[in-house]
């Protein structure tokens, strides 16, 4: 089962992104336990695209697929510089005390913990992130 | 949508989704706290890094005063996020 949508590059579109995800969960009968990590990854990547590339052209494309017990999530920014979630995201030390904590990198850190596999591709100005979550 | 209300006991009840679109609203309430408080997450279904960032900022404001936020009734999937981020060492979670 697949569902897709394209969204303008602003934070106001986040609710529409969640609406797409919730329709997908319902139509594909995605187990409840798997919905949180997928929604989390969706929000973090979408808001990063909005926040760090606000002047990019075109809408952000989101594709969701549930097959053989695995959710596949694709987010594509059609006008972006290259960005690798593994290599380029700020590293987070979860053992730091409160006073030494600084903003940045936490969302990607948590995506890596919550999702099973992440792939980053780049070509023709399009940056695509593909994430997988095994649910069965 | 995130709703924040205060019970007669002083406990602050968070309900709904604490996502990036709700962070500014939450910041205006939680960063204005003058003393520690208990946050009840019983009806909080979702939190993202934007929500975590607001909680962290509020805790940073309170710490020099010897005050802190304390969390209760946290759902297991949100507890996992607190654990993976090390926030379970920064917040008392009952």
Which residue of A11, A36, A106 is in closest CB contact with B85?
A: A106
* Interface contact flag, A110 B81, Cβ < 8 Å: yes
Q: pTM for this one?
A: 0.95
User: Strand order in B69-72's β-sheet?
Assistant: B2-6, B12-18, B37-47, B69-72, B92-93
Q: pLDDT tens digits for A39-59? A: 999 999 999 999 999 999 999
**pLDDT per position as a tens digit, B5-46:** 999 999 999 999 999 999 999 999 999 999 999 999 999 999
Task: Note the pLDDT tens digit of each residue in B44-84.
Answer: 999 999 999 999 999 999 999 999 999 999 999 999 999 99
Cβ-Cβ contacts under 8 Å, A54 against chain B:
none
End-to-end CA distance of chain B: 25
Q: Do A44 and B48 make contact, defined as CB atoms within 8 angstroms?
A: yes
Q: What is the pLDDT of residue A86?
A: 85
* ipTM of model: 0.94
CB contact under 8 A, B17 and A96: no
CB-CB contact of A110 with B81 (8 Å): yes
């Amino acid at each position: 089962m697949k569902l897709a949508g394209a969204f303008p590059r602003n934070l106001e579109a986040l609710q529409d992104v969640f609406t797409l995800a919730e329709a997908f969960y319902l139509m594909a009968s995605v187990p409840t336990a798997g919905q949180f990590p997928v929604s989390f990854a969706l929000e973090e990547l979408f808001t990063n695209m909005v926040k760090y590339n606000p002047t990019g052209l075109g809408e952000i494309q989101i594709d969701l697929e549930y097959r053989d017990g695995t959710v596949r999530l694709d987010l594509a920014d059609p006008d972006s510089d290259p960005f690798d979630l593994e290599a380029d995201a700020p590293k987070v030390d979860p053992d730091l005390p409160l006073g030494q904590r600084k903003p940045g990198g936490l969302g990607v850190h948590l995506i890596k913990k919550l999702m099973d596999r992440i792939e980053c591709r780049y070509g023709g100005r399009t940056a695509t992130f593909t994430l997988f979550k095994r649910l069965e | 949508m995130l709703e924040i209300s205060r019970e007669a006991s002083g406990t602050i009840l968070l309900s709904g989704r604490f996502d990036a679109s709700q962070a500014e609203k939450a910041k205006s309430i939680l960063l204005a706290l003058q003393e520690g408080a208990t946050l009840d997450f019983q009806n909080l279904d979702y939190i993202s890094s934007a929500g975590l960032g607001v909680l962290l900022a509020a805790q940073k404001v309170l710490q020099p005063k010897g005050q802190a936020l304390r969390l209760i009734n946290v759902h297991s999937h949100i507890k996992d996020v607190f654990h993976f981020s090390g926030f379970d060492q920064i917040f008392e979670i009952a």
